[in-house]
Amino acid sequence: MNPVPRRVVIVLFEGVDLLDVTGPPEVFALLQRETDDTPGYDVVLAAETLDPITTSAGVRVLPDATFEDTAKHPIDTLLVPGSVEVDDNHRIHALADPDVVSWVKTLADRTRRITSVCVGAHILAAAGLLDGKRATTHWSTAAQLASDHPAVEVDADPIFIRDGNVWTGAGISSCLDLALALVAEDFGEATALRVARQLVMYLKRPSGQSQFSVPLEPVSSTRRMEDLRLYVTQHLDTPLTVTDLAQAAHVSERQITRIFRTELGLTPAAYVESARVERARNLLESTDSPLTAIASACGFGTTDTLIRAFRRKLNTTPTDYRAGFRITP
């Protein structure tokens, strides 16, 4: 029996933010292009009727199905985008149409996993789907979300938050990060990394706060440098000395140092340490592995080395970082 694609339903309504709607399907389509043997996703755009929907950008989108028909079938992932209005004083206010809220609540009962993009969190909250949960949204409407829905624990800092089977994403472009995280959960980190490279995102950003972000940018301008970065990511549990990197790139040690400085403005050692800290952050957020195992998996060797790297790069300790940002399974 051939594997069945995962059914993703994206909610449409008048004035919806265009990138919220189109961003995740682009990620899902790249998954299909990158993996021939993966069932992938079947994306369905659903609205109250089959009439064209005019997005906030003025671009019209045609729904694939009505909410009523969509509710007749099981849904793997329900994705709820958002919309806003701006008053005369340029203040942004998130919208939650009662009819849309009612349909989202109905569809959620048929859904394995519920997600929102940007201010779509306000619709989930209005449907009661975020009560007692930690959630994020666009920073400009976070105060509104907290005020309108006191039962929701609002945190505007993370790029995305997972609480049980409910995922919420922050700013508009973070819909790509959220979609990559869904791909990683469904098909594995290695597959998500391949998709991220096609998006020129290199690594998917973890869900932790922005002030803890390890600078693995800028994106390099040559394929050789991108291949080196991928090599580093895939061999973090090995020494990764200058000699190792030079051999992987088939250049001299002097040249490999020049390549890193020219392309990234970093020494090879500095870049490798940043990549190791980034991997450690992911493991601290998503697993209960002991620090010794994380230090080994990330190539630090000892927990003392791991702790020193965290203090140097993030001004915190691995233990404190996990206490603040461990994602509940």
Task: Give the pLDDT confidence of 228-264 residue by residue, as tens digits.
Answer: 888 998 999 999 999 999 999 999 999 999 999 888 8
Structure tokens, 324: 């603040």
| Residue-wise burial string across 182-213, b where 16 or more C-beta atoms lie within 10 A, e elsewhere | bbbebbebebbbbbbbebebbbbbbbbeeebb
Main-chain dihedrals φ then ψ at residue 65, nearest 5 degrees: -155, 160
> Does position 32 have pLDDT exceeding 60, yes or no?
yes
Q: What pLDDT does 171 receive?
A: 76
pLDDT digits (tens, 9 = 90+) for 36-58: 777 899 999 999 999 999 999 99
What pTM does this model have? 0.66
Instruction: Catalogue the long-range contacts made by 45-51 (C-beta closer than 8 Å, 24 or more residues apart).
Output: 45/10, 45/12, 45/21, 46/9, 46/10, 46/11, 46/12, 46/70, 46/107, 47/11, 47/12, 47/13, 48/13, 48/99, 48/100, 48/103
> Does position 85 have pLDDT exceeding 60, yes or no?
yes
Identify the active-site residue in 46, 118, 176, 283: 118
Q: Please state the rounded mean pLDDT for residues 310-319.
A: 87
> Does position 142 have pLDDT exceeding 60, yes or no?
yes
Q: What pLDDT does 205 receive?
A: 52
Domains of the chain: 6-198 (3.40.50.880), 213-325 (1.10.10.60)
Q: How far apart are CA 189 and CA 28, in angstroms?
A: 14
- Are 78 and 44 spatial neighbours (Cβ–Cβ below 8 Å)? no
- Which residue did the predictor score with more confidence, 107 or 37? 107
Q: Please state the rounded mean pLDDT for residues 273-301.
A: 92
Q: Is 175 a catalytic residue?
A: no
Q: Which residues 6+ apart lie within 8 Å of 271 measured at CB?
A: 216, 229, 232, 260, 264
